[in-house]
Each structure stands twice: as C-alpha cells, then as structure tokens.
Amino acid sequence: MQPIISISNLSKTYDGGVRALNSVSLDIEQGEIFALLGPNGAGKTTLISAVCGIVTPTSGTVLAGGHDIIRGYKKARAMIGLVPQEISTDAFETVWATVNFSRGLFGKAGDRAYIEQLLRDLALWDKKDAKIMELSGGMKRRVMIAKALSHEPEILFLDEPTAGVDVELRRSMWNLVRGLRERGVTIILTTHYIEEAEEMADRVGVIRGGEIIVVEETEAIMRKLGKRQLTLTLTEAMETVPDALAEWHLELADEGHRLVYSFDANDESTGIPSLLRRMGDLGIGFADLDTSKSSLEDIFVGLVNAQQEPAA
C-alpha cells in the first residue's frame, strides 16, 4: 500500500543557521501509530512543523495522502490534524466556540453531534461553555486535541501529548489514541516517555541531530537491540568470579550473592546451558534464576550514545 505520508530528503536550516533537519526520509503507513523519539533539539518539532505547513522546508518533498504539501497544500492540510507541543489557545473564547472555529477553518460544515461526541470523549463536555483561561493545563491540552480532531483528520500529529500530564490523564490519552487508530486514523506522536512508545507505537523512529538514525517496528527493535540478563541467586556468596567462568564475562552483584550474565537475545546460542553445566562442574549452587530484558529506554539511550561518539 502507498504510504500515507512520504517524506523524502527533507532538510531545514533555520535563519540563524541551525540545521534542524538533515535530509530526512521517512514513510508513514496508513493506520499506524508511529512514535518519533529523540533528545531535546533533535528536530522532532521541526519535522512535524514542516509537514504541517508551519515551517517552510529548505529542501525536499513531503506527500500527504499523495498530495504535495506545497503544491497541493489545501488537500494535504485538510487531511491533517496537529496538536503542537506548546499549549496556545484563545484564552477568552469558550471551548465550544474555539473547537467549532477550528472545524470551520478546515472547511468543514458544522456538525454539532460530532463536536459534542468529541468533547464527551475528551471529558470536556461539561466545560463546553467555560472560557479556556478558566481550564486547568491538562484540560487545555485536551482542548488542543479537540481542535485538532474537530475536522475529522485522517492523520494526527501529537507533539508530546503527554508532557506534564498526570498518570490518569496519560492513560486516558493512550486509550483515545488507540480508539482513533481503530477508526483508521494514522497517528504520529513524539514523546520523551519511552514507555509510551513501547506501549502504543507500532513503529518507532529515532531522530538525533536532525537525522533519522533508526526506524523499526517496536517489537523488532526491542528484539534486535534488546539485551537480556540472566541473574542467578547463589546459595553461597562468592568474592570473585572464578577464572573458569571468565568466558561468560559475568558480574557479581548484591555483595556476591548474585551472578549476572548479560547476553544478546539474538545470538544463536545464548551460552546459558554451557554456563549452567560449567557451574555444575565447579559445584556452584544457585537457589533461583531470573531473566529480564532491557526496555526501549535502555535501547534508546544506547542508540543515541552510540551515534554520538563517531560524531564527536
């Protein structure tokens, strides 16, 4: 299937000379949830802003639903809803007025029933006549989401939708996003909460210094780059790792009570059976064993650091 968003060789150099995007190419598939991860200043917002028409790209092309975002900007933009990183709303307007205004701006005829349902879904219905300045920060963010969804976009950009949002609201946002995906909306979100990407995204892309360094299915990236650890709780503490076990590069933890073995989940042979056999030969007993895998966060930090070194 044709990707719903196709970005090719997109670059952006700001007036001040900052090269925020460096020849980024990326395809977003219809109906997926795509998480864009990257440290502060990596270019996430710039990438989203360029696609949405807020920043003019220096070079490169972007197609949204097959429409060029410059030449066919009306058709492209009509498909897209944007929740920017910064909350900015018309403080003196009511929730109802501002959400309906957004719908009109995108050329859609009024639809009270749809807007009502939208506000109900976002738990804003009882605030519909409140002025936006009277709302809490979390509510304002939901108003921004309501505005972005007011014109029934097929593509939704969420730039850090859960920054500064409490746990409960975060969960409800995740549910909302999943609900949207079920209705066929394609969602691109940026986040600093890796668990969010891990939990929700079908694919993740990591951007650093204006370049996309990895794009992978969330599961695959975790399988591929994830490290696993085997922890053995020993029956008797030991002071040093015996030389006979040197080839496994073991580490001692918990004052010698635990032996930790790190291995790559993808290796054909993990080395575990031979390790256990050797320990048996040496008469080292263990009471318990446990394996764990690294989180996307560990992977992410590893990736960003690994890329930093050659650049330095």
Q: How far is the CB of 221 from Mg ion (least distance, A)?
A: 22
Which stretches within 7-62 are classed as H helix?
44-52
Q: Is 44 in the site for ligand ATP (CB under 6 A)?
A: yes
Strands of the sheet containing 203-208, edge to edge, are 80-83, 155-159, 186-190, 33-37, 203-208, 211-217
Residues 58-87 that bind ligand ATP (CB under 6 A): 85
| 3-state SS, residue 4 | coil
By a kind-dependent CB cut-off of 5 to 8 A, residue 213 interacts, out of ligand ATP, Mg ion, another protein, none, with: none
Q: How far is the CB of 93 from another protein (least distance, A)?
A: 8
Eight-state DSSP code of residue 93: S
Out of 33, 38, 83, 185, point to the residue binding ligand ATP (CB under 6 A).
38
By a kind-dependent CB cut-off of 5 to 8 A, residue 43 interacts, out of ligand ATP, Mg ion, another protein, none, with: ligand ATP
> Which residues partner with 281 through β-bridges?
none
Residues 5-24 that bind ligand ATP (CB under 6 A): 14, 16, 18, 20
Q: What DSSP string describes 238-302?
A: -SS--GGGGGG--EEETTTTEEEEEEETTSS--SHHHHHHHHHHHT--EEEEEEEE--HHHHHHH
Q: How far is the CB of 28 from Mg ion (least distance, A)?
A: 18
Rule CB under 8 A: which residues touch another protein?
14-15, 49, 52-56, 73-75, 77-78, 80, 82, 84, 86, 88-93, 97, 100-109, 147
Pairing state between β 5-13 and 33-37? unpaired
Q: How far is the CB of 206 from another protein (least distance, A)?
A: 24
> In whole angstroms, what is the distance from residue 51 CA to residue 7 CA?
8
Q: Is 45 in the site for ligand ATP (CB under 6 A)?
A: yes
> In whole angstroms, what is the distance from residue 201 CA to residue 96 CA?
31
Q: How far is the CB of 49 from another protein (least distance, A)?
A: 8
Q: Is 164 in the site for ligand ATP (CB under 6 A)?
A: no
Q: How far is the CB of 119 from another protein (least distance, A)?
A: 18
Out of 45, 102, 186, 231, point to the residue binding Mg ion (CB under 5 A).
45
Q: Is 46 in the site for ligand ATP (CB under 6 A)?
A: yes
Out of 10, 43, 57, 83, point to the residue binding ligand ATP (CB under 6 A).
43
By a kind-dependent CB cut-off of 5 to 8 A, residue 250 interacts, out of Mg ion, ligand ATP, another protein, none, with: none
Q: How far is the CB of 164 from ligand ATP (least distance, A)?
A: 13
Contacts of residue 46, defined as CB under 8 A and 6 or more positions apart, other chains included, come to 12, 20, 21, 55, 210
Q: What DSSP string describes 127-181?
A: GTTSBGGGS-HHHHHHHHHHHHHTT--SEEEEESTTTT--HHHHHHHHHHHHHHH
**Residues that bind ligand ATP in the complex, under the rule CB under 6 A:** 14, 16, 18, 20, 38, 40-46, 85
